Amino acid sequence: MKEQLQQIKEEALAAIGGAESGSALERIRVAYLGKKGSLTAVLRGMGALSADQRPVIGQIANRVRAEIEQALSDRGTALADKEQNDRLSAEKLDVTMPGADIPKGGAHPLYQVEREMSDIFTSMGFDVADGPEVELDYYNFQALNIPENHPARDTQDTFYITDRILLRSQTSPVQVRTMERQRPPIRVISPGRVYRSDALDATHSPVFHQMEGLVVDKGITMGDLKGMLETFARHMFGQSTRIRFRPHHFPFTEPSAEVDVSCFVCGGKGCRLCKGEGWIEILGAGMVHPNVLRGCDIDPEVYSGFAFGLGIERVTMTKYGIDDIRLLYENDKRFLAQF
Ligand code: PHE
């Protein structure tokens, strides 16, 4: 029996030494020390021994068991250490490596120009007002002195949703919404998206951006409009910029004008940007029509005002010499990165 124990011990220790994983160790533990293990079997046979043999063999058997347990635990620790070291060296990071290059984004040129325009007007005391893009016919046309069947409705090819609801074709409805909400003195700008059913080409887009301006107070004149637009044009296009008013017609302003700025590339002599004209049209403007004021319960005998509408694409394309509006919507990074 003594030899048997010795042999079990040697076998077990050899197996433990060769084990390469925790699960292999567990299989060895079960094979020797488990209920059906070979050491357990030997211990069961001890009942057949004589009374003086039993304690001697018992002692040896306990030592063998203790040695096997110790070897299992040592090997287990060694395997766990090795596993951790392997993992750590596989996961090694070189903190001196350069980082991945994340390309930097920036504001879209249209948004940059809108912000620049807003900054100029707010520095002159304007507030910023907002209005819905899905608008009532009433605000987009009716309240702006454009009754049903008025030809001006045809010149702005409008996307209708129902008979009464449409996608606003201009930012002018915000004038009316502002005057309904607020008593004079009023001084607001309102930038935003507008919609017209135009086919997309180099100069047209079914969605584009305008900025509306509205001033209403006692004693406001066309001179105020001119002075304010001149200040704006100088800030936007350079100190030597001049403006010129050409007579025009809008149903909601009287008198009305289209406003040009002197070409800031050639200074008015005529060049490619201004197509030889020396002037570039950037906005429509005029004195708010008495009918529009009256419809908002503002007495035209007491108050007067002016309004203007600027195309943000127009200003952006002029300022940067962009000759195709589609470049502003395609989001080609090579284009956008230039701003
Ligand atoms: N809403 C006009 C347009 O889209 C522009 C405009 C605004 C004209 C305000 C006069 C006053 O053409």
Residue 104 falls inside a structural domain: no
| pLDDT, the chain, mean | 91
Residue 167 has pLDDT above 70, yes or no: yes
In what helix (H) or strand (E) does residue 212 lie, and over which residues does it extend?
Answer: strand 207-217
- CATH code, domain carrying 183: 3.30.930.10
pLDDT in tens, 240-250: 999 999 999 99
Residue 155 has pLDDT above 70, yes or no: no
Which pTM was predicted?
Answer: 0.71
**Beta-bridge partner residues of 304:** 217
Index of the ligand 1 atom closest to the CA of residue 194: 4
> In this structure, is the dihedral angle defined by the CA atoms of residues 267, 268, 269 and 275, taken in order, positive or negative?
positive
pLDDT in tens, 97-137: 898 888 888 999 999 999 999 999 999 999 999 999 999 99
Residues 38 and 126 in one domain: no
Segment among 87-91, 185-189, 204-208 with least mean pLDDT: 87-91
Query: What's the Cα-to-Cα distance from 247 to each of 56, 71, 73, 183, 257, rounded to whole Å?
Result: 125, 104, 99, 29, 5
Instruction: Report CA(273)–ligand 1 centroid distance (Å).
Output: 24
Closest Cα to atom 2 of ligand 1: 309
Domain's final residue, options 36, 56, 90: 90
What is the span of the domain harbouring residue 25? 2-90
Residue 96 falls inside a structural domain: no
Phi (first) and psi of residue 284, to 5 degrees: -115, 150
What pLDDT is recorded for position 88? 87
Residues 82 and 138 in one domain: no
Residue 58 has pLDDT above 90, yes or no: no
Index of the ligand 1 atom closest to the CA of residue 284: 8
Tell me the mean pLDDT in the region 35-60.
Answer: 84
Segment among 54-63, 223-232, 321-330 with least mean pLDDT: 54-63
Residues 309 and 252 in one domain: yes
What pLDDT is recorded for position 103? 84
Residue 99 falls inside a structural domain: no
Index of the ligand 1 atom closest to the CA of residue 210: 4
pLDDT confidence tier of residue 54, bands split at 50, 70 and 90: confident
If one counts the domains in the chain, the total is: 2
195 CB less than 6 Å from ligand 1?
A: no
Residue 240 falls inside a structural domain: yes
Instruction: Report CA(269)–ligand 1 centroid distance (Å).
Output: 28
Query: CA 39 to CA 36: how far, in whole Å?
Result: 9
What pLDDT is recorded for position 234? 94
Tell me the mean pLDDT in the region 264-287.
Answer: 90
Residue 100 falls inside a structural domain: no
Residues 139 and 286 in one domain: yes
**Pocket perturbation via mutation, ligand 1, pick of 154, 155, 172, 225 by most ligand atoms within 8 A of CB:** 172
Residues 319 and 212 in one domain: yes
Residues 31 and 146 in one domain: no
What pLDDT is recorded for position 243? 95
What pLDDT is recorded for position 300? 97
Index of the ligand 1 atom closest to the CA of residue 171: 1
Is beta strand 186-195 parallel, antiparallel or unpaired with respect to 134-136? unpaired
Residue 154 has pLDDT above 80, yes or no: no
Residues 249 and 297 in one domain: yes
Closest Cα to atom 6 of ligand 1: 309
Closest Cα to atom 7 of ligand 1: 309
Residues 56 and 199 in one domain: no
Residue 102 falls inside a structural domain: no
Instruction: Report CA(336)–ligand 1 centroid distance (Å).
Output: 29
Residues 159 and 290 in one domain: yes
Residue 97 falls inside a structural domain: no
Residues 141 and 70 in one domain: no
pLDDT confidence tier of residue 156, bands split at 50, 70 and 90: low
Residue 65 has pLDDT above 90, yes or no: no
Q: Give me 239's structure tokens.
A: 């100190």
pLDDT confidence tier of residue 57, bands split at 50, 70 and 90: confident
Residue 103 falls inside a structural domain: no
Instruction: Report CA(284)–ligand 1 centroid distance (Å).
Output: 5
Index of the ligand 1 atom closest to the CA of residue 169: 4
Place of tokens 């309004």: 307
Domain's final residue, options 55, 90, 125: 90
What pLDDT is recorded for position 215? 98
Residue 327 has pLDDT above 90, yes or no: yes
Residues 166 and 308 in one domain: yes
What pLDDT is recorded for position 45? 82
Residues 332 and 218 in one domain: yes
What pLDDT is recorded for position 41? 83
Segment among 39-43, 111-115, 209-213 with least mean pLDDT: 39-43
